[in-house]
Amino acid sequence: MSRIKINEPENTKGSHAEIFAQIKDAFGVTPNMFKVIGNSEAALESMWTSFGALGKGKLGAKLGEQIAVLVADLNRCEYCLAAHTALGKKAGATNAEMSSAQAGESNDTRTQAVLSFTKKLVLNRANINDLDIKAVKDVGFSDEEVAEILAHVALNIFTNYTNVAFNVPLDFPKVNLR
């Protein structure tokens, strides 16, 4: 049971309700995570607009979802692991690719570099060094893309903390943490 109320979108008005309508249009339903963070219109807008901005980024949906499942597993967030596994499959990833990404592994050199960088960012609380950046750039990522990787990690930490701290009820097919 959620530690704070699950805010039903029909109980909101104005711009708050408009954000919920956008989320429902995107997913077909309003996931519980958004209903819970939606107790604050400002927090909901922050989360939703971050998803929208990154959705227009250079990394692509598949790699973004692979980053998300690794961050979710590292932060022990069952909700995000389930949601992003489903979204990764919709973005063209196989079950094996999503499972490997959850473990921080990939057969693709570029994806592996991103997952290794992501893991260092999360585990070291962003205390990385020049060689960590160089490793990602050496496989062809630009400064713009490296910044975007960090933005994906930061957004996923926000969503992980939302779901773990508030004990948001799962409304996606369950995926086991490692």
Domains of the chain: 61-157 (1.20.1290.10)
Alpha-helical runs (H) found in 28-77: 32-37, 41-55, 61-74
* Cβ contacts of 95 within 8 Å, gap of 6 or more: 89
- Could you give the CA distance from residue 88 to residue 22 in angstroms, rounded to a whole number? 20
- Classified as helix, coil or strand, 134 is helix
pLDDT tens readout for residues 108-144 = 999 999 999 999 999 999 999 999 999 999 999 999 9
Q: What angle do CA 147, 132, 53 make, to 5 degrees?
A: 15
Q: Model confidence over 42-90: pLDDT tens digits?
A: 999 999 999 999 999 999 999 999 999 999 999 999 999 999 999 999 9
Work out the average pLDDT over 162-176: 98
Cα gap 126→84, rounded to integer Å: 22
Give the Cα separation of 63 and 45 in Å (integer): 24
Distance CA 114, CA 65 (A): 12
- Angstrom distance (rounded) from CA 47 to CA 154: 11
What percentage of the chain reaches a pLDDT higher than 90? Answer: 100
pLDDT for the residue numbered 6: 97
pLDDT score of 143: 98
Contact 81, 52 (CB under 8 A): no
